[in-house]
Amino acid sequence: MKLFIDVDGTLTNSIEAFCYTYNHIYQYHNNFKPANWTKVNKWDFSDQCPLLKNAEDVENIFSSKIFFKRLQFMPNAKEVLYELNKKYQIIIISIGTPLNVARKSMWLYQHLGFIKDVILITNKGIKMDKSCIDMKDSILIDDHIHNLISSNAKTKICFGKEYEWNKDFQGIRAKNWLEVKEMLLDKQQGGKSSHEQT
């Protein structure tokens, strides 16, 4: 069975890396206040990064070398992914600007060499929509409601805590990667997890 997994906010803690990068770049600007990644609740980071004036400023941070040098996996993500890879065909899928996607591809190659299937979508303005990818009879794990509801995946799992961009999702939720592991690996029925039943 195919398992599609999002990168930013799902596989990696991109919010922490974003705020770190913002603080590094803007620390000497007038009216600067350090961004606290644990208090971010807006998709454009305007609640913690007010010096960002427009979408281009946000995209520049997501594409910066500092961001990718700082970027780390969510707790337990890599370990669980390694186990999931034994039972599922894992496909990493993410959206970004051309520069973001180029650097993300290298980051994934360096940190997840055992995952061979990667789909990176370039999208002007980072519109959240992965409907161009056929996920029929598959599982999608993503933190953004628009990616989830626009997908034709059989099973949709909203990852992480509730944010402004996913609070209205009414389906399955996994707060962390240990919960993903429990859902997709630990709960066995006749030798298969409940999501693998045909």
The model's pTM: 0.89
CA 76/CA 177 separation, integer angstroms: 6
Inform me whether the pLDDT recorded for 155 exceeds 70: yes
**pLDDT value, residue 162:** 87
Q: What is the pLDDT of residues 72-128, one digit of tens each?
A: 999 999 999 999 999 999 999 999 999 999 999 999 999 999 999 999 998 765 566
What does DSSP assign to residue 48? Answer: T
> Who contacts 28 (Cβ-Cβ below 8 Å, separation ≥6)?
none
Q: What is the pLDDT of residues 31-69, one digit of tens each?
A: 999 999 999 999 889 999 999 999 899 999 999 999 999
